[in-house]
Amino acid sequence: MTRLTYRDAVKILGAGQSPLVSALDKMFGGLLLGATPLAPDLLSLFDAKSELVRLTYELVAKGIDRRHRLGQFDRIQRLHAARGVLMVVAYFEALEDADLPFRLDDARISRAEAVGLATDAFEGRTLADVATSLLDTDLPLLGVQAASVDAQEQLGRFYEKLHVNVTRFLQGLSLWEDLGLIKQLDTVEALDRVAPKALRLFESSIYRLGGECPEFAIWLTLSGQRTIGDAVRELLDRAEPVESVSPVLQGIVRFNRSALTRTLLPAEELPDGLATPEIGRAYIDPDFRLVEVTAQAPINDEDFWAQVDVRKDFNEFLLGHLSTPWAWTSPLLILGHPGAGKSLLTEVVAARLPSPDFVSVRVPLRDVPADADIHEQIERAIRLSTHETVSWPDFARAAGDSLLVVLLDGFDELLQATGVSRSDYLMRVRKFQQVEETQGRHVAVIVTSRVTVADRMQVPAGVLAVRLEPFEIGQVEDWLEEWYRTNGSYLRELGRGWFDLEVIEKYLDLAQQPLLLLMLAIYDAESGALLSDKHKLSQSELYERLVRRFAHREVSKTDSQAADSAVERELLILSIVAFGMFNRSVQWVTDATVAHDLTALGITPPAGQGVTAAHQRLAGEAKDALGRFFYIHRARSILEDEVLGTYEFLHATFGEFFVARLTWRCLMELVEQARAEKARMFSGHQGVDDTQLRTFLSWALLSTRTTTLDFLSELAARASGAELQDIGEALLTAFRNVHEPTVNSVYQNYRPLQRTQTAQIATYGANLLLLLMTVRDEVSSAELFPGVVDHAAEWTRSVHLWMSQLRTGEWDGVTELLRADRDRDPDERQSVRLSWRRSASAPRVETMWARDPNISGVVTDYGFSINFFRSAELLCEWDTDVVVTALNGPGTLFTSLLPYYMHRDDQLRSVAADLLHASFFHTNQTALEERMVVYDRLADFAGAPYLGLDVVVDAELERYLVQLLVNDELVTAEYVVDKLTGLLILDEPSGPENLALFLRLLARTEEHWWFMDFVNGLLDREAVNVEQVAEIWCALADKGIPSSEYPEALLDEAHRLRWPAREELLAHRPDLLTRLSKLEDDELL
């Protein structure tokens, strides 16, 4: 039922109520049941509006009467039908109360109008049209994703359409002409008020029914019209004894309900005496965000979800969704981060939905064959839950009119374990629902997945997607209250207190995820550390305590005398898994990948001949270590009867912490080696063996995970000054030897990626610098490349190597974190000073520090432009192409000026930058003083005796500079004239092109000698035409300059400006003819 008309709704509600349906059909002249309408019967629509309202309400009351013992699907259909007919009848109620200047039942239809009714002669203005519109127009269906405003707009559009048809009908009656203009306007105004009133009446009728049907109350809440009261509780409390359902279904119903009495963790996973609450008591309904997925919706992107409003009514939303036809036509997608409680949510939903109204089957996708059809996966889940074998069709038929709800938990596990072979899974789910509907079985499907893999899903358009939100402080407090209720005796016996708000806020970033909140609670119950620490632990300190405590407890289960070395081994395995994800730029790794890494690093022995494939995927010891920690999740799927596993951390920061932890341990071992080498009697001053550090840091850049760098900075902050000094020296030594061939090949089989040796060197070198920056405030190129005369150039070569070899996005990460200031070393050689971009506060040194500071005046590199554009052509690099496109290629004025600088007052200024700056003086409202400084530099540059500029470019520069000066209203005309005299533009052949500018300047200045010289030069070169001569003469006259001061050559042109010669020469310039005529009359010509 994805569309509903009034005709459909009456038939659904009227099943078994034939007298009522017949009465309504008569009112619609037989149109309701398909007969040919007759005008007299149709008139009853208006003659007996009250009767129509009464019959409709009676039909609704009998149609949804609980005593019918309807199945849930039939009940949902009838409730939607009831909502539909109430929507229509509300209009007639409002019409009955309308303050019209006549009575509708007084309206009579003439013979001609009756013929029109039969023949449709009125083209949409007949009563038959009104009735047909009522019966066949699609009624607005409830959409749970729509806001209340959207729902109101849909209803408003429906009533508006009905309003138009009724108005057209009335305007087609002879009665309309008899009313006269005033009453016609009154009628239109009264009819305009009918639709808003109908909307209020409809809401009121739904509200009344909300007391009888909780579904109506939930719909009201979803549309923002009413508060929900006890409707959800009433609906959920409709669960009947297990025996009330078919024997085929009883096993799955028992299994589902048992989830609420299970504890969050079994006792054997906890310290002695500690317990976790029952799921039914500890579960907190999540906040969430909801969208309808479109083809372009990036549902894996946090920025996308940040624009969606947070909602708190998850139960209401879910029950409302399951009470709409959309539930059995498309899957509902629930997304969340690891540890957000997606799996627990599916268990609670399956347990809470009341049977026999609903029959739920939860399918953990990690436990069923990934390559099986969906109905086969459901059958497998039923067998795992009940130890009973039943086919899906038999199970669904046994459900009868109950609404079937299938919860497919862990879609991401299919993707991770099987690659992209199931990326179309949601498409298959929708196809499954369509097939089921053709068989008369209506199945709602809910699919859960991690947010981060959502980009690998093929999501059908129109699917609703939910993103679970982290806990707010109030939810954390509610959860902890249940925790302390369960463990009060245990905690009091140990002298433990409760988390207060201050403690919660300290660790809210962890406590917001339900599973991590459980970890924190267990950790503090066991150690009391979080409450006892008066200062907030740094994140790295907290993580170290958490993982070490859990590792020690887990190892102690099999070895009560477990040594620290055993704990470290456990943490080492976890660190290698973390590096496996980090180096491959993924959030998860497979069994096979972990087995390969552990073997390549010598943690587990190579698989021998005869070792099973399952064992080869992951050595047993490591598998045990990974499987017993809360904060690492093993996604499991079955493909071709073989278990495939992948591993991910429940919270990404755990993986980032383990990467930082192992990096720091490798670094400290490197430092110990360096100290030992120094302490030797006959130290060879050899480079230290950095094999371990090189092995892990040659594949991905640490800056791709800024949290990893934060962890490293925290670890460095806890080191002493002497330790930091030793670490810095060890890292500098490793950096200087980064290009040296690796001598120790013990880990040569560790290759998480296929990367060239050059790429590995570049990545390792960049990582060493990032590590160095965590222990030093700043680093100079002289320190990085000691003994190299041009160490700044060596730095540039290293950077070029990194740019060419780092993976997409990695180089951008480096530039976001680091800045390079130009400097000079004690020997006045060029030097680079590196620092964190976030902490650097010193002003940047002029970027052209590479030029000789002793040179003054114009500085240039003549070959720069041509070399730059040729290099860009060969590079075929996006960033460079963007610059080339913006510069419009070589040969333009701006690009020609790029290599030129003016060196004065110990500063080197770019001519191109000055010209660009001057172009925006007006827009930027630059102060006059600053403008004049820039103009001075540009004028000095343009007037320099030899620039090496192309003659055409030089002339273009002067013209552009004159244009800027003349059009700048802040600078004085005298200043402009002074700058012009230093340029060649007054004498150059292109002078006529600047005549308009000079005429404008002449109007502003008191002096005119410079203009006379300019005009004299133009006339001597015969570079002006009669029109320009006329412009000059008129401008001089306007300034009041007597003709006696005119250049002789200009006076010689006067005969061409007198009448009648000018009439023909200047016929195209009537404005000049007028001005010249006035001058002649005044005897100025």
pLDDT tens-digit map of 201-257: 777 766 666 555 655 555 555 444 444 445 445 555 566 787 778 888 999 999 999
pTM: 0.61
What count of other Cβ atoms lies within 10 Å of the Cβ of residue 887? 18
Task: Give the pLDDT mean for 346-364.
Answer: 91
pLDDT attached to residue 376: 94
pLDDT at residue 662 greater than cutoff 90? yes
Alpha-carbon gap, residue 1082 to 1085, rounded angstroms? 8
pLDDT attached to residue 610: 39
Who's near 40: CB < 8 A, 6+ residues apart? none
One-letter amino acid at 648 equals E
User: Which band of pLDDT confidence, cut at 50, 70 and 90, is reported for residue 46?
Assistant: very low
Please list the residues that pair with 910 across neighbouring strands. Answer: 901
pLDDT tens-digit map of 408-465: 998 887 765 554 457 789 999 999 999 998 888 889 999 999 887 787 788 888 899 9
Residue 226, sorted as left (phi over 0), alpha (psi -120 to 50) or beta, turns out to be beta
Mean pLDDT of the chain: 77
- Rounded to 5 degrees, φ, ψ at 838 are -75, -20
Return the axis-axis angle of helices 194-210 and 214-222, rounded to nearest 10°: 130
DSSP string, 920-939: THHHHT--HHHHHHHHHHHH
pLDDT tens-digit map of 107-123: 544 434 433 333 333 34
pLDDT tens-digit map of 760-781: 999 999 999 999 999 998 999 9
Strand order in the sheet with 589-590: 589-590, 642-649, 632-639
Q: Of 841, 842, 803, 837, nearest to 823 (Cα)?
A: 842
> Using an 8 Å Cβ cutoff, are 648 and 635 in contact?
yes
Alpha-carbon gap, residue 766 to 745, rounded angstroms? 22
Alpha-carbon gap, residue 432 to 440, rounded angstroms? 13
pLDDT tens-digit map of 384-424: 999 999 999 999 999 887 889 999 998 887 765 554 457 78
> Using an 8 Å Cβ cutoff, are 767 and 702 in contact?
yes
Helices vs strands, H then E, count in the chain? 54, 16
pLDDT at residue 616 greater than cutoff 50? no
Give me the half-sphere count of Cα atoms (radius 13 Å) on the Cβ side of residue 1078: 10
- Both tokens of 1063, joined, read 């009439």
Of the candidate ranges 852-861, 887-896, 1028-1037, the one whose mean pLDDT is the lowest: 852-861
pLDDT at residue 129 greater than cutoff 60? no
Task: Tell me the Cα Rg of the chain.
Answer: 42
> Using an 8 Å Cβ cutoff, are 929 and 910 in contact?
no
Question: For residue 13, what is the enclosing H or E element?
Answer: helix 6-13
Alpha-carbon gap, residue 460 to 199, rounded angstroms? 33
- By CB atoms closer than 10 A (0-12, 13-18, 19+), residue 450 is buried
Tell me yes or no: is domain 242-469 CATH 3.40.50.300. Answer: yes
- Rounded to 5 degrees, φ, ψ at 183 are -70, -30
Q: Of 547, 546, 480, nearest to 511 (Cα)?
A: 480
CA-to-CA dists, residue 839 to 774, 817, 836, 991, angstroms: 12, 10, 5, 54
DSSP string, 159-173: HHHHHHHHHHHHHTS
Q: Of 495, 499, 471, nearest to 483 (Cα)?
A: 499
User: Which band of pLDDT confidence, cut at 50, 70 and 90, is reported for residue 624?
Assistant: low
What count of other Cβ atoms lies within 10 Å of the Cβ of residue 909? 22
What b/e sequence results for 811-839 when a residue is b if at least 16 CB atoms lie within 10 Å of its CB, and e otherwise?
Answer: bebbeebbbbbbbeeeeeebbbbbbeeee
Task: Give the pLDDT mean for 660-669.
Answer: 96
pLDDT attached to residue 1083: 55
- Domain limits, the chain: 6-232, 242-469, 471-536, 538-629+654-776, 851-976, 986-1085
